[in-house]
């Protein structure tokens, strides 16, 4: 999976679902019930997905885990308009045909290589 797609997937998942690592590492939550309410609002499918994400996160090498957490913190600092712009870009990417995605990925690799 191209690194851009992995990054986009991570960002979208982290933006849409409360990070399971935060839920599992702080259970019960130290800051009150806000996190519990958010967790309780998840459907069983979303909870399963969050738990799988957490388990995958825990298996990452420490440096990769730190990088994911730093990316998530950066994401949290983005203004809402920027988050919506990124989500829109991701949705457009997801709607591309496989050939369009390959072309996009190829162009992205060329652009990134030239930086």
Structure tokens at 57: 């996160």
What does the alpha-carbon distance between residue 28 and residue 40 come to, in Å, rounded to a whole number? 13
First to last CA, the chain: 21
Q: Which residues contact 105 (CB under 8 A, 6 or more apart)?
A: 2, 4, 5
Compute the C-alpha angle 114/90/63, nearest 5°.
65
| Rg of the chain taking only CA atoms, in angstroms | 16
Least confident of 19-23, 38-42, 67-71, 88-92: 19-23
Whether the CB-CB separation of 49 and 17 falls below 8 Å is answered with yes
Backbone φ and ψ for 97, nearest 5 degrees, come out as: -70, 160
Mean pLDDT of the 98-114 span: 90
pLDDT tens across 13-47, in order? Answer: 555 444 444 444 444 444 444 444 588 888 899 88
What does the alpha-carbon distance between residue 94 and residue 62 come to, in Å, rounded to a whole number? 30
Query: Is 33 or 114 the better-scoring residue by pLDDT?
Result: 114
Q: Assess whether pLDDT exceeds 60 at residue 90.
A: yes
């Amino acid at each position: 999976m191209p690194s851009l797609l992995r990054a986009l997937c991570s960002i979208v998942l982290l933006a849409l679902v409360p990070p399971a690592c935060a839920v599992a590492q702080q259970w019960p939550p130290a800051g009150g019930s806000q996190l519990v309410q958010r967790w309780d609002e998840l459907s069983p499918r979303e909870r399963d997905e969050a738990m799988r994400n957490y388990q995958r996160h825990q298996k990452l090498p420490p440096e990769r885990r730190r990088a994911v957490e730093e990316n998530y913190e950066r994401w949290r600092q983005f203004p809402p308009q920027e988050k919506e712009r990124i989500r829109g870009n991701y949705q457009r990417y997801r709607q591309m045909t496989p050939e369009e995605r390959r072309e996009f990925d190829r162009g992205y690799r060329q652009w990134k290589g030239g930086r």
